[in-house]
Chains A and B, each alone.
Chain A
Amino acid sequence: MSQDVADLSCKIYQQEGIALDAEFVCRAGEVLAVVGPSGGGKSTLMRMIAGLTKPESGEIRYGDSVWFSSESGRYLTPQQRHLGYVPQHFGLFPNMTALANVVAALDHIPKAERVARAKDWLERVNLHGLPDRLPANLSGGQRQRVALARALAREPRVLLLDEPFSAVDRETRERLYLELARLKEQLAIPVIMVTHDLNEALLLADRMILISQGTLLQQGSPREVLSRPRNEAVAKQMGLRNLFDAHVVAQEAERQITWLKFGEHLIAGNYREELDIGAKVRWVIPNQGVRFNSITKGRLCRSFNKLSITIESCLSMGETMRILASIKGVKHHLNAEVPLHFAQKMGLAPGVETEVALKSELIHILEND
């Protein structure tokens, strides 16, 4: 099978059963993460791309080839789509050895070459010396590798990974991240990875789409979605807890700053030209935009983006400390997460009054819903 790589574009609408409304493109050589809470329609979307479930309407296209079109009535089966699919629990054939599992996916090459090719793929995913084992006798990580080898051995047009790391332990997961990151460099095809773990998307994906309750909330690079969530729903899905109300007090187009009045504090946020002076807005700041250190060292001399806070509670979670603090002059609370050793060094504890600085470039004003 020659590797004619192309982009995969999807427009899917469905109302019956699991509702879905999503339109996106996954470019060749790109890893697209489909992120969202459980039950949000991610796996259904994956099954639709694979041809395992028929959408109500829309179009799925791989380059010039139409895989599904409700308009023309065209619908290619999974066999015709020629893709690689790694389900959540790997979907290995329990009655076949690791080698036979990979051989089973090689119907596109002559029979005589299949075993050698399968062995080669098992080696490529670092599965040495285990080709004769049944899936039941392999560890979670090894099974995941067999499933990946089986999917890739098919020389697929598109690779679909449905929560590929959810069924393995943490140590294996870390190792598999590295392997997938390495493999990514070699793959020229569109790769779509479903995950509910934002960190996985940040680590491995070039772009992401955020799906909640069947609706595509936002798409873009993971960093962009994290730092510039479109609206409050996206911000909440991305785990951003510092969502505040403020009023626009000035617009500064030259310096690309929108000035906000937040209680008695003056906040310089990312410029949004459409906002009128006096408009009520919601703004958000990710954890990495909240700085403690510059204040205590006395380097912060500007009069804006400073918040006077009183720490209310500290919760140590492994290597990090979660801090909840009340902000002077407003009813909102600030959430921050700092390394444990840093919190100890700075003496951050309940009752402590201090100031934090907010990074202007990370202050993002949300669109109104």
Chain B
Amino acid sequence: MDWQALLLSIKLSCVTVLVLIPCAIWAGRFLAYRQFRGKSWLEALIMVPLVLPPTVIGYYLLVGLGSQSWLGQTLEALLGQQLVFHFSGLVVASVLVNIPFAIQPIQRAFEAVPEEVRDAGACCGMSPAKVLFKIELPLVWPGVLTALVLCFSHVLGEFGVVLMMGGNIAGETKTIAISIYDSVQAFDFAAAGQMSLLLLLFAITALALTTSLSRRLGGVSVSRRR
């Protein structure tokens, strides 16, 4: 078992979720409540990582953020380091790849909050922030939880993008998925089996937990809305 890779994967998942979920709450709410020209295109763009092979995303990120590109050079000058083959680059890649997994469930949850309830909040004198924290967030909680678990699990098992963007640097960019691949290449099937089993158990537990919590919390929310 490659504990270093496992810890790095967990760290990457945590950082990705911390960066992504607050942004997804903002974006999901915006997309749920606002109608504007080009909304369908924006929603389609958000969904692109779902259908695009991760290696393709990884390739574009590698080329786009590498030291040969204008953007890569600018970011290197600003941050003092390269994004590619570095943990920060993995975070950028994971955030981008997981955008649909984060925004979709949260957007659907906000769409289910009745307009009348939000209107009543405003007419009760609540500020928009108070309406968000006191009324909307308690109602969209199942959607946020689903997004959180989906993103965390997805990042934990991400392979293609991570390999393209970060390579395979132990302690820096070598995640558990890459470690499994390495183990198989080295015919260390025992280690690969252990790590795969761990990921499998985690995936099943996470999904079971999300489904059960969503059903419980979602059930309460839906019955409360009736």
Residues of A that sit less than 8 Å from B by CB: 47, 50-52, 77-79, 82-85, 87-96, 104-105, 107-108, 134-136, 147, 150-151, 154
Residues of B in contact with A (beta carbons under 8 Å apart): 114, 116-117, 119-127, 134-135, 138-139, 221, 223-226
| Interface pairs A-B: 10 shortest CB-CB | A94-B224, A91-B120, A91-B116, A85-B123, A105-B124, A87-B116, A78-B122, A95-B138, A136-B224, A136-B223
Least CB distance from B140 to A in Å reads 11
- With A134-B224, A136-B224, A136-B226 as known contacts, state yes or no: A91 contacts B119, CB within 8 Å: yes
A84–B123 CB distance below 8 A:
yes
What is the CB-to-nearest-CB distance from B4 to chain A, in angstroms, rounded to a whole number?
A: 43
- The SS class assigned to the B binding surface is helix
Which residues of B are found within 8 Å of A47, using beta-carbon distances?
119
Q: Chain B: which residue is nearest A85 at the CB level?
A: B123
- With most chain A CB atoms within 10 A of its CB, the pick from B120, B123, B125 is B123
Given A95-B135, A95-B138, A95-B139 in contact, is the A85-B120 Cβ separation under 8 Å? yes
Q: Contact between A105 and B125 (Cβ–Cβ < 8 Å)? A: yes
Q: A52-B119, A88-B116, A89-B114 are in contact. Are A94 and B126 (CB under 8 A)?
A: no
CB-based A-B contact count at 8 angstroms:
74
Q: Are A79 and B126 in contact (CB under 8 A)?
A: yes
Residues of B within 8 A of A95 (CB): 135, 138-139, 221, 224
- Asked if B124 and A154 sit within 8 Å, CB to CB, the answer is yes
Question: Shortest distance in angstroms between A65's beta carbon and chain B's nearest beta carbon?
Answer: 16
A273 and B226 CA atoms in complex are apart in Å by 56
Chain A residues with CB under 8 A of B134: 93, 104
Question: Which chain B residues lie closer than 8 Å to A105 at the CB level?
Answer: 124-125
**A87 and B126 contact, CB distance less than 8 A:** no
B114 to chain A, nearest CB (A): 7
Chain B residues contacting A91 (CB-CB under 8 Å) are 114, 116-117, 119-120
Distance, CA A94 to CA B222, complexed state (A): 9
Smallest Cβ distance from A92 to chain B, in angstroms?
A: 7
Decide if B123 touches A135 in the complex (CB within 8 Å). Answer: no
B221: chain A residues within 8 A (beta carbon): 94-95
Q: Which residues of B contact A83 (CB under 8 A)?
A: 123
Most buried by B among A78, A93, A147, A154: A93
Given contacts A136-B223, A136-B224, contact A52 B122 (CB under 8 A): yes
Question: When chains A and B are docked, how far (Å) is the Cα of A107 from the Cα of B114?
Answer: 23
- Name the A residues within 8 Å of B123 (CB-CB): 50, 52, 78, 83-85, 151
Report how far A210 CA is from B220 CA in the complex, Å.
Answer: 41
What separation, in Å, do the CA atoms of A77 and B119 have in the docked complex? 11
CB B165 to nearest CB in A, in angstroms, measures 41
A104 and B134 CA atoms in complex are apart in Å by 10
Residues in B neighbouring A154, C-beta threshold 8 A: 124-125
* A79 and chain B: residue at smallest CB distance: B125
Given A83-B123, A95-B135, A105-B125, 20 other A-B contacts at CB below 8 A? A52-B122, A52-B123, A79-B126, A82-B125, A85-B120, A87-B116, A87-B120, A89-B116, A90-B120, A91-B117, A91-B119, A92-B117, A93-B120, A94-B117, A94-B224, A96-B135, A104-B126, A107-B124, A107-B125, A154-B125
